[in-house]
Amino acid sequence: MLATLSLNSLAQGGGFVSPEVHPDKKVTFRFNARDAKEVKLNTQLLAEPQLMIKDDKGIWSLTIGPVKPDIYPYCFVVDGIQVPDPSNIYIFENERFKNSLVDIPGDEPLIHSMQDVPHGTVSYRYYKSKTLSTTRQLVVYTPPAYDNGKNEKYPVLYLIHGASDTEETWFKVGRVNLILDNLIAQGKAKPMIIVMPYANTAPATGNAFTNDLLNDIIPFTEQNYRVLADRTQRAVAGFSRGGGQTLNAGLLNVDKFAWIGAFAPASNNADFEKQFTEKTLSPEVMNNQLKLLMITSGKEDFLYERVTQFVDILNKNKVKHETFFPSGGHTWMNCKLFISTFAPLLFK
């Protein structure tokens, strides 16, 4: 399984390592392009792309840091063209760009790191979507004890990716499987099944994803997995556009979901105002039905102002909720923080 391997220092046949993470948390990136006129490193670790230096063998390199332990995306800009690191097999799963990933380990294991604990299983599944008239894909995490307890049933979290991400991004970039393995082992989260659907429904628009989730994904999950098929045992959460889809699917269907997590939800303010009115956000309904409504965003996220305006709407309508606004931007570094904060609160 991909997540059982280290993301760091993958020796390749080219005679060099990239990325190379040093003991002092500095990182050296290398790229072989003898004929290139300019190569830059582009990463969220830097405020702007930085020029790399070429040696007499045509190897471009740059060392940065020390870097705060986490997993970070990066790519090279080669004569104006962005490319992933060919010396690194770990790719940021996305439909618009292909960054590579570098893992800076902590002195103590981070919540998303591979640890010596029981591990769950990640499976790739296909289901028939009557809503979209096609066969679509899912990634499903089952907790460590799932295969041993043949009669035990589990709650389910439906976890939605961002706009140009895929059903693999929460797994490959967000490391949600390892986060849950570690939280469960520490007794901080209940064992649960996590269903990660492919949420891009283009060219279908409007409520296509919500309809697919309610009419196809949930029935498929409940027919194929041992789940507690009750609204109090069903959660939905998502990041960016997936956070907006979470609010639409969750708040407008509180008879289906009792736990909702919107991580830096992307939707314009007009959509929020149109969808979530005094009628749809009835405090008598919301506060009685919802076990948890959590809204999160990094304080430097470009969506932070929109998110806080939506919180104002919740406050205006007296809908109970929790907020979590750490530092940082619209990043998957924050996504790991959001899910590791949200998951322990579920199904209590």
d(CA 100, CA 95): 13
d(CA 324, CA 275): 23
d(CA 309, CA 305): 6
pLDDT at residue 64, rounded to an integer: 97
pLDDT at residue 9, rounded to an integer: 37
- Does 1 score more than 50 pLDDT? no
Whole-prediction pTM: 0.92
Q: Nearest 5°: phi and psi at 201?
A: -110, 5
pLDDT at residue 268, rounded to an integer: 59
Task: Strand 259-263: give its sheet, edge to edge.
Answer: 121-129, 134-142, 193-197, 156-160, 234-239, 259-263, 292-296, 322-324
Q: Which helix (H) or strand (E) holds 282?
A: none
- Does 267 score more than 50 pLDDT? yes
Per residue in 38-59, pLDDT (tens digit) is: 999 999 999 999 999 999 999 9
CB neighbour class for 23 (10 Å; exposed up to 12, middle 13-18, buried from 19): exposed
Residue 34 pLDDT grade (very low, low, confident, very high; cuts 50, 70, 90)? very high
pLDDT at residue 269, rounded to an integer: 57
| 193-197/234-239 β-pairing | unpaired
Per residue in 196-214, pLDDT (tens digit) is: 999 999 898 878 999 999 9
Please give the average per-residue pLDDT across 243-263, as a whole number: 96
Please state, for a pLDDT cut of 70, what percent of the chain lies above it.
95
**Average confidence score pLDDT of the chain:** 92
Per residue in 143-189, pLDDT (tens digit) is: 999 998 788 999 999 999 999 999 999 999 999 999 999 999 999 99
Per residue in 99-110, pLDDT (tens digit) is: 999 999 999 999
Candidates 107, 144, 104; CA nearest to 122 is 144
Strands (E), the chain: 20-21, 27-32, 39-43, 50-51, 53-54, 59-64, 70-78, 81-83, 100-104, 121-129, 134-142, 156-160, 193-197, 234-239, 259-263, 292-296, 322-324
Q: Which two tokens stand for residue 311?
A: 């919180």
pLDDT at residue 13, rounded to an integer: 46
Candidates 230, 208, 224, 90; CA nearest to 155 is 230
Q: What is the CATH number of domain 2-104?
A: 2.60.40.10
d(CA 173, CA 8): 14
Candidates 220, 51, 62; CA nearest to 129 is 220
CATH superfamily for 121-345 is Alpha/Beta hydrolase fold, catalytic domain (3.40.50.1820)
Residue spans per domain, the chain: 2-104, 121-345
